[in-house]
Amino acid sequence: MLGEILEKVGLKYDELTTEERETLHSWVGSVEQSTMSGSKIKDYIQSMKDSVSLELSDSKIGKRQDMYLKARLRNYILLEAFLETPEKAKSALDRAIAGIVSSKK
């Protein structure tokens, strides 16, 4: 089940951090028990944003790792926006697309 989920979003289990793996396992367990709630997902997203922010504050990370972490943080922010309100999600999506377009110029 985990492999299928990750494959759909283009990830591999080995690419996940330990915290992400643990959370994914708890999500799968919750789904199997039908106890998944919106507040649990929002809590997870907030904890992942905090974790990425903490990693970004490390002055010893390389340029590639910095870009990777910023991309992860942007994904969490976008996901959070989708869960909060449709208007906020549209705005976040517009900003993300504008960022992609401006980076290609």
Structural domains counted in the chain: 2
How many H-runs (helices) and E-runs (strands) does the chain carry? 5, 0
Q: Does residue 42 share a domain with residue 31? A: no
Q: What is the pLDDT of residue 49?
A: 93
Pair 1, 28 in one domain: yes
- State pTM to two decimals: 0.51
Rounded to an integer, the average pLDDT of 20-44 is 76
77 in the same domain as 46: yes
Assess whether pLDDT exceeds 60 at residue 4. Answer: yes
Domain that holds residue 101: 38-105
Residues 75 and 45 placed together within one structural domain of the fold:
yes
**Percent of the chain's residues with pLDDT above 70:** 84
pLDDT at position 50 is 93
Q: Are residues 56 and 18 in the same domain?
A: no
Minimal CA–CA distance to 96: which of 81, 39, 53?
81
